[in-house]
Amino acid sequence: MPEIKIPLSVPTSKTSEYKRNYNLATAKTGRLLLIAGDQKIEHLNDDFFGSGISKEDANPEHLFKIAAGIPGALFATHLGLISRYGSNYRRLPYLVKINGKSNLGPNEEKNSSACWWSVDEIVQFKKQSKLNVVGIGYTLYLGGKFEAKMLAKVARAINAAHQNGLIAILWVYPRGKNVNEEDIHTIAGGAGVAACLDADFVKVKYPYKTKNNKLTAEKFKEVIAAAGRTKVICVGGDKRTSKEMIATTKEQLTISGTNGLAIGRNLHQRSFSEAVKLGQDLSTIIHAPQKKKRSTFLGLF
């Protein structure tokens, strides 16, 4: 079990709580298999019903079933779903996603700066529900007219989370007219912002559609370096085969130096049995025992 580097924004009185949450989130490996279940806001019902999607996915409980079937997975979703299904899935570690926006309306008006729930409300929920709520998640869009509000909101939320011994995971997406969202240098910039904001993990995009996968994974080290001691996990991306997913995840972990994967549609659009199989395979490579090593980025580059 790797040593946990506790940020100084966690008070001494909450150190053990933070460690417990961190270990629950990462299956004591320091690495995340994050089941991202916030698409019911982000994509409404598009990701859950339609051709190519398992009929089981129509019901939100499908998400809970899958998460419960994958050892070591951390399930991230909004408070409402946890409030409704949590009592039947008490063993799961939960990350409460505290913002979100739908896919309706013009892009430039889209804004999800406000936190739906304060950290105090989440702490209260954790206390009364007795669920394993380990932390908060927030999607940060860099660029555009809502950036300032988002940065301020999330900085406060992360600090409040740490003050309460919770972990904080940021989804960071640079946006704007001239922004190439799959450019590694730009992604690295977003990862660096997460570091400045004291996030424990940052979830970023990964350029999956490249000719040379190994070269991409190598170049992606820029992102890991920029994030400093904030750990990087990659989004699962559009639907791919299980084999492809496992291959690229391995490359990310071993070449780039990521610390896990976030997976949403790629998981829940499959049937329960297929999803659990894929999830277990991913858990095996993510949560496998690692050799303890010092960061060697600077020397290796």
- Tell me if residue 206 is catalytic: no
Question: Concatenated DSSP letters for the chain?
Answer: -PPP---TTS-GGGHHHHHHHHHHHHTTTT-EEEEEE-HHHHSTTTTTSSTTS-GGGGSTHHHHHHHHHSTT-EEEE-HHHHHHHGGG-TTSEEEEE-----S-S-GGG----S-SS-HHHHHHHHHHH--EEEEEEEEEEESSTTHHHHHHHHHHHHHHHHHTT-EEEEEEEE-STT--TT-HHHHHHHHHHHHHTT-SEEEE----S-S-HHHHHHHTHHHHHHTTTSEEEEE--S---HHHHHHHHHHIIIII---EEEESHHHHTS-HHHHHHHHHHHHHHHSS--------HHHH-
Least spacing, CB of residue 252 vs a second copy, in Å: 18
Q: Which is nearer to a second copy, 249 or 256 (CB)?
A: 256
Site for a second copy in 198-237 (CB under 8 A): 198-199, 222, 225-226, 228-230
User: Could you say which of 40, 97, 126, 203 is catalytic?
Assistant: 203
Among 2, 17, 69, 85, binds a second copy (CB under 8 A): 85
Give the Cα separation of 133 and 39 in Å (integer): 19
Tell whether the torsion through CA atoms of 208, 210, 216 and 217 is positive or negative: positive
Nearer Cβ to a second copy, position 150 or 245? Answer: 150
Residue 4 binds a second copy (CB under 8 A) = no
Q: Using CB under 8 A, which residues numbered 166 to 195 contact a second copy?
A: 174-177, 179, 185-186, 188-190, 192-195
Q: Report in angstroms how near the CB of residue 243 gets to a second copy at its nearest.
A: 28
Is 203 one of the annotated active-site residues of the chain? yes
Under the binding rule (CB under 8 A), the answer on residue 273 touching a second copy is no
Nearer to a second copy, 147 or 281 (CB): 147
- Between 197 and 234, whose beta carbon lies closer to a second copy? 197
Q: Which of residues 51-70 bind a second copy (CB under 8 A)?
A: 55-56, 58-62
Answer for which of 2, 9, 68, 277 binds a second copy (CB under 8 A) is 9
Question: What's the CA gap between 64 and 86, in Å, rounded?
Answer: 9
Q: Does 87 bind a second copy (CB under 8 A)?
A: yes
C-beta closer to a second copy: residue 175 or 240: 175
Among 27, 33, 81, 276, binds a second copy (CB under 8 A): 81
Stretch that binds a second copy, among 156-164, 205-213, 236-244, 285-293 (CB under 8 A): 156-164
Cα–Cα distances in angstroms (integers) from residue 68 to residues 18, 93, 153, 282, in the given order:
22, 9, 31, 14
Of the residues 18, 138, 173, 206, only one is catalytic, namely 173
Decide if residue 142 touches a second copy (CB under 8 A): yes
Cβ of residue 56: shortest distance to a second copy, in angstroms? 6
Q: How far is the CB of 235 from a second copy (least distance, A)?
A: 19
Q: Does residue 137 interact with a second copy by CB under 8 A?
A: no
128 binds a second copy per the rule CB under 8 A: yes
Distance CA 296, CA 73 (A): 28
Catalytic sites, residue numbers: 173, 203
